[in-house]
Every structure is written in structure tokens, then in C-alpha cells.
Structure 1
């Protein structure tokens, strides 16, 4: 007999910084293997993401930020982290709320975690009185682009960026929130 698992979302805390970093690095290592240098993904990304999330979760302004962790909760009460989202209000931004991170771990893609996390970020932004979200996705990340477009996000421009020691292009997508 198999046990059913439920997908739940919970707010991340400062203590979750190592977990967020590990999930972020694992996601990049799987997703960006053809987009970023192998040396960066194999030797640097873990430490780089650990420093990033430690600083981010300790930074002031948490009232402008939403960080949620998606977990599969089985009947045995075991909780397995499967992804996370980070959204942040950007005062003065013409684009609205930044959906800065949305990651579902590769082994758990397709179970609805990304969609649930995105919907939670949209609901949070709407509750903040915002009318739009935006995100950046690396040019060449075809699966993420297809996912965002299926969810109603629209391409709105490209910007140069620098990641993993190389110059890249980040595509900006926007999502208009219904106000009803």
C-alpha cells in the first residue's frame, strides 16, 4: 500500500538559508548545465548560493519579501522540501513585484509545486496592492520559458547580465494581476 503525499507551503525562516541555498544550487546545476560554465556549477555555485541566501535571509526588509518552501508531506509526517519561491516588492520599479526565484527540484518537477509557489507569490503581491509581477529567465532556458508562458507570463524585453563568470542575456517576463 502506498501512502499519499500532500504538497504544503510554509514560510522560510533565517534558519532555512542553508536549505534554500542547497535547493538553489541543485536547481542551477541541473538547469543551467548548458548555459553556465561547468567549473562554476561544479566548484563554486554551492558556496556562492550559501553566501547569497545567508545574506538575503538576514537582510532587513523582510516585510517586503515573501519566501516560501514547498514540501511534500507524507502520512508518516515526513516532510521533503521540493522547491521554493522568493518574491520581493521593488519600490519605484515600473515592473511591480520581482519574482526573484522560483525553483522546483528536478526530481519533483511536474507535481505542481512550481505552479502552487507561483500562485502564492501572485496572491501575496495582490494583497500588497500590486498590479504586476516580473521575473528574469536566462535566454536558452527553454523549459522555464515554456512554463512561464503556459502560466500567462508575457515577454517584455531582454537585458545583459553576468553570471558564473560569463556575460549572459536575461529575458524579462511580466504577469499582470487581475484586480478583482
Structure 2
């Protein structure tokens, strides 16, 4: 498995992985109408925009071949000196094959680069997403008691924060 930095040419594939990942991972946790309405074209525009403006310490790493998955990392907006895994998704047909583990390891290595100064990292996960929580715990993350309710999409999503040392 080859992991590399994302480039603008990856935008369409990133959008597809993102949408398919949401539709598979969040089925039953979000309104189905919302999931069905997700648009690869809309997400691709967002990805192109982000890929042309991204600056360290943010990084988007993709798993080849064919952008089989991605991880996005950077600084935690809420805690100075702490890194964050913002998103990690693998094409649903590839789940359970170690691709997510490889991406998570690459994301953690990226956050642990000496020049960034991060000694720990956080991530947020839907409280109801038991599969993802097991995945994070197996990778050395632990729930640290942080909780929030995200209503930015028009419905409440209860999230919990995970943390780990780098």
C-alpha cells in the first residue's frame, strides 16, 4: 500500500470516497434523506478548493492505487499545540483489509513530525459509531470525556472526543 500527499488531480476521487464513506458508515446514524442527497460533484469542488489552499501543518494523505482512502490531519483548532485527525475514510468495499490502519498510522506519523511540535492528537467521532470507535481504540486512541452536539446539518449529531499521545 502506497500512501502519498494528495494533489488537486485527486479531488474527484477524494469526493467519491468521502460521499461513499459517509453513506456507508453513517447509515442509521443520520437521516437517510441527507445521506442520499450527498453529491460527489459538490464535494469535488470543495476538495479542489482545499487542495489549492492547504498549508502546513494541515495535510491530506491518500492511499493508492486509485485513492482507495484518505486521512486529513492538522492542528486542533481548540487546543494549541495539539494535532487533530479531521477525517479518515476508506472506500466501503475495502473495509477490513488494513487500509484504514495504514492511513491512520500515516496520519499519526505526519502529526508526530518534529517540526510541528505536537505531542498528542485528538479526533471527534459520532458516539453511535461503534465500528469507528473500536477502530480508533485498537489504534491506541481513548475517549477523553469531551462531548459535543453538532447541529450544523439541521439535525443533532452527538460526538465524543478521542485522544492519544504521539
> Given the two structures, how large is their TM-score scaled by the length of structure 2?
0.88
* Structure 2 match to 1:38: 32
Task: Measure the CA separation in 2 of the matches of 1:46 and 1:165.
Answer: 20
Q: Which structure dedicates a bigger proportion of its chain to strand?
A: 1
Structure-to-structure mapping, 1:35-114, within 5 angstroms? 35-59=29-53, 61-71=54-64, 79-90=65-76, 93-94=79-80, 96-114=82-100
For residue 16 of structure 1, the aligned residue among 6, 10, 29 is: 10
Cα distance change of structure 1 residues 46 and 37 upon mapping to structure 2, 3 Å threshold? farther
> Given the two structures, how large is their TM-score scaled by the length of structure 1?
0.82
CA drift at 1:44: 3.0
Task: Measure the CA separation in 1 of the matches of 2:101 and 2:60.
Answer: 15
Task: Measure the CA separation in 2 of the matches of 1:52 and 1:97.
Answer: 22
Cα distance change of structure 1 residues 69 and 153 upon mapping to structure 2, 3 Å threshold? same
- Largest Rg, 1 or 2: 1
* Structure 1 match to 2:132: 144
Paired residues in the alignment total 163
Cα distance change of structure 1 residues 158 and 92 upon mapping to structure 2, 3 Å threshold? closer
- The secondary structure found in structure 2 opposite 1:81 is coil
Contact kept in structure 2, 1:88 and 1:98, CA below 8 Å: yes
Contact kept in structure 2, 1:87 and 1:98, CA below 8 Å: yes
Cα distance change of structure 1 residues 92 and 135 upon mapping to structure 2, 3 Å threshold? closer
RMSD: 1.9
Cα distance change of structure 1 residues 113 and 95 upon mapping to structure 2, 3 Å threshold? farther
Deviates further, 19-28 or 44-53: 44-53
